[in-house]
Amino acid sequence: MDVDSETVSKGEEEQRKAIVLILVGAPGSGKSTFCDHVMRVSTRPWVRICQDTIGNGKSGTKTQCLMNAASALKDGKSVFIDRCNLDREQRADFVKLGGPQIDVHAVVLDLPAKLCISRSVKRTGHEGNLQGGKAAAVVNRMLQKKELPKLSEGFSRITFCQNETDVQAAVRTYNALGPLDTLPSGCFGQKNPEAKIQLGIMKFLKKVDAPVIAGSDATSSQDSVAKELWNKGLKSDSSSSANAVKEVKDGGELAVGSVVATATLDNVPTLAFPSISTADFQFNLEKASDIIVEKVEEFVTAQKNIDSSKFLTFVGDITHLYSGGGLRCNVIANAANWRLKPGGGGVNAAIFSAAGPALETATKERAGSLVPGKSVVVPLPSTSPLFSREGVTHVIHVVGPNMNPQRPNCLNNDYIKGCKVLREAYSSLFEGFASIVRSQEMLSKENNEKLGSGLLESHDHFELSHLNQFPNSDQKVKREDVYESERSKKCKGLQDEIGSRITDCTDAKDKLNSEKINGNMTKAWGSWAQALYHVAMHPERHKEDVIEMSDDVVVLNDLYPKAQKHLLVLVRSEGLDCLADACKEHLLLLRTMHAMGLKWAEKFSSEDESLVFRLGYHSAPSMQQLHLHVISQDFNSKHLKNKKHWNSFNSAFFRDSVDVIEEISKHGKATLKDEDSLLSMELRCHRCRSAHPNIPRLKSHISNCRAPFPASLIQNERLVCASKKDSINQ
């Protein structure tokens, strides 16, 4: 090689930009085929990174994929990341491979689920062994977690393909890409998620002429967020209080913005929240406003009982929304520190100061600390000035990501992690608000059914159930006065089709002594059997046992677990002692229980991919208070001792949560199985169904059994596992 040609070669090398092309799609969407077509034709050097074959032709790990991709990029080659990559977290580490000389692209094969399933079921000899009958369940499960990529994740180019024509066009684009060629940046194809979010926000603001932004203060930081939100479709205005009140009265349930306040109609639960992490915690304003818009749209779409046309924003003091601006917001969010204590500056200091010592005391009863991305709902005592002056009944503490080096847990400008945490923070905040709305709706319905009879709810639930009667300042009735008048009433008892229910209104034991179980049978609950009820009604008294709680449910470890992981999700509502009590009006609550159980199952499975879970109910439980079992299928526990223990989780006596929800939705009640005949059945392995004479022999067998789970369990997502490989069939 002469000197001139060597110089040209070096110049070309300096101009060449490698590409990390992350393929996004379900099994059967055509990711591997896409790679093959491009690699056969393109003059650009490509390397395909496939987790199914990364370990010398066998399945490997994500870490191996990252290492091989980094090595190929170092050699000047472009790489295909051939994995499903269906959620942001799975893509994040591969996006980080990008740099000044490396572009990060995504091709999204967003083809119809039926097509992906059909392909997966029919194929043979698949690298990842995902084929045949088991493929359908896996594809369906993975698609439920689909999260389309966005440029804000760090991509320079995203191509969306909704059909085969789109896929062929994308193949041709990359086939034509030479070693020195580059492609324009941006989103291409029919589905642009950022544009969708902007249009969605504009659509639900359309009916509000002068939306406003609500904030904890009117600092320049908050004003900057307002400007960013304006650019992204959320209008802001700092008009006078009078104009703001006029717009509120025209209608508005939830307001978002730099501090997003919920303007309210009378008697409608409302939320006001600040822009999390943008002031004291120095989070990038543009990125933060992107996430606010995204999460608001997501929440409004999911919550059918929230009118999206009534969103508005307001600049003002979040601790004086009613007295200072006329906005009636009975739930406010606090951008808290992880210790959940007063101090610092901005929103946290302002809310704790305005609420007085009552908030700090109430917070300690709920939680001692929070990790970033989480929130906790705290009912505000009626002694708090925020309650009496502003009508605030609940404060939701939420901890966001920190980019301020003067604060703990600084992320040092790691915005991939920071954006993930901020999304989690808003999701947790909105779910906390939704739980308050659901609780109020449920209790309002129960109160109507009771027709004024004196079954007294717990204090927290009492506050929720009377949200509609006040805090309108026109009504000068104090909450504690109403509480005392209710408490003084005599318990008249409740009549239903199975007779009277006896209540005790003198303290938290005001629980029915007998309940309907499966038809005409009744069951009396002994004092030992009421332990779960007491935990559900007063979780603050059982902090050592409770691992998570919301207004709807409490989560705790089973005291006598029958497997490595065995949790109980308890409902916090009165009158739901067992599955026989559940009917259509409880569907939302059952889905909340299922979602909570699913979250914990997926958490444990992600930590240990060998774990597989079932979520379900006992047909006739031994403990009072409806509870969902979340139990791993290893059954490796010293507490699993007899036939009844085994069959209560491995016969038709155990009703899968998904089936219960489906049956109640269609028929109004769940099918309950006969207790005695099922619990006395012979011992059979839950995988291969082989019979065994006793528990020790059965345990010895299941510790080594690798048979696939029965098809009946694989269908309808009755089994939960987080492994990319179909471990439930291995």
**What are the residue numbers of the active site?**
627
Q: Are 216 and 347 in contact (CB under 8 A)?
A: yes
CA–CA separation, 713 and 718 (whole Å): 5
- 3-state secondary structure string across 109-164: ECCCHHHHHHHHHHCCCCCCCCCCCHHHHHHHHHHCCCCCCCHHHCCCEEEEECCH
Name the nearest CA neighbour of 328 among 472, 192, 205. 472
Report phi then psi at 481, rounded to 5: -65, -45
Structural Rg of the chain based on CA atoms: 28
Helices (H) and strands (E) in the chain, counts: 25, 24
CA–CA separation, 26 and 38 (whole Å): 19
Q: Are 226 and 261 in contact (CB under 8 A)?
A: no
Pairing of strands 394-398, 78-82: unpaired
Q: Indicate the DSSP class of residue 254.
A: B
Q: Indicate the DSSP class of residue 526.
A: P
Amino acid at 605: S
- Kindly give, in sequence order, each residue whose CB lies less than 8 Å from that of residue 354, ignoring residues fewer than 6 positions away: 319, 320, 385, 386
Residue located via tokens 């949560």: 657
Report phi then psi at 483, rounded to 5: -60, -45
Pairing of strands 394-398, 331-335: parallel
CA atoms within 13 A on the CB side of 155: 26
Residue located via tokens 């022999």: 697
Q: Which two tokens stand for residue 99?
A: 């740099």
Distances (CA, A) of 474 to 271, 322, 327, 386, 481: 21, 13, 14, 17, 16
